[in-house]
Amino acid sequence: MTLSLPEKIVGPAAWTGAEMQERDDIWLYHLTPSDIDDIEQAAEHYLSLGRDIGEIRKEDFPLPVFGAHLAALKDRLINGHGFEVLRGLPVAQYTQEMAAAIFCGIGAHLGSARSQNAQGHILGHVRNIGADPNDPNARIYQTAARQTFHTDSADIVGLMCLRDAKEGGDSLLVSAETIYNRMRAARPDLLQLLFDPIATDRRGEVPEGMDPFMTIPPLNWHAGKLTVFYQRQYIDSAQRFPEAMRLTPAHVEALDMFDALANDPSLHLKMRLDPGDMQFVYNHAQLHDRTGFTDWPEPSNRRHLFRLWLSPTGDRALPEVFAQRYGSLEIGNRGGIITANTRLHAPLD
């Protein structure tokens, strides 16, 4: 069936990397000394309670100074250009517990934390553990290989850089709306195919009673908004399942065009996250990626980032098909990876 799609999507989320490279004043925020004092006091208060970091709620992490910025940031993520980097946190001075409390506390002002794997980890650790990127059950973020542009299973994705790599590991962002606009203008026939129920591999993390793959279309038009769900490596590996929808040559051409546009240096934004940087990205309107990297030989110096998946209140509605991944579609209480034995917690290492 041919969908009725807009000729062009116009709005702050339809940005190009070239534009954003010249406008870091709207997405790079330098924390003030007052901001940092406020954040540190909130973290010290929470840690004094002796509770699990994974239980932090907004009301447990009072930010009388910095809280107004986070309220505005939440709106910019959902309704604006969709990402921001907070810079200047002296993370090298903190214990890992203090850094985790700060990150989870700030995240609690943006949304509820969600499980990131079958083990129920609310606080994820992004680092190379030597996993094989060609293993169909491996998670790509646990390797040093180049990722591909993709989305995660959450409304908002947050990263905190604890230590950066010796070389590489740069963060890349691209607007799904801009890719849509380019494909709509040049190849509307291929664009339509990205709204088909193309299979995406679950990579071994299969909720009880579910198929080992999902059939959420890469692009979804729902309630007047474009929502993206995409991981090309997992789309390709899902073809190992005979019951998955077969990709036709036209589908492959459409996916290849999507990838080519995402990788266009004029369309995506490339940034280096410094230690202490916190990046928050609205997952439904853009895709993220990471370049391959070379790590430091000493284990204590190796690249390490915390990750949060968040579900904010006041967000957009998602189409019913997202229940295959998100479970509940309740705004503010959706997303993450939930299996039968999931127990939510925040491991520090």
Is there a contact between 217 and 195 (Cβ–Cβ < 8 Å)? Answer: yes
For residue range 236-282, list pLDDT tens digits in order: 999 999 999 999 999 999 999 999 999 999 999 999 999 999 999 99
What is the per-residue pLDDT for 211? 94
The tens digit of pLDDT for each residue in 167-204 reads 768 999 999 999 999 999 999 999 999 999 999 999 88
| DSSP conformation class of 269 | E
Given a contact cutoff of 8 angstroms between Cβ atoms, the answer to whether 183 and 259 are in contact is: no
Higher pLDDT: 134 or 44? It is 44
Interatomic CA distance for residues 76 and 60, integer angstroms: 24
At the fourth CATH level, which superfamily is domain 17-326? Clavaminate synthase-like (3.60.130.10)
Strand partners, 226: 221
3-state secondary structure of 88: coil
pLDDT, average across residues 13-32: 97
Which of these, 254, 222, 221, 260, lies nearest to 235 by C-alpha position?
254
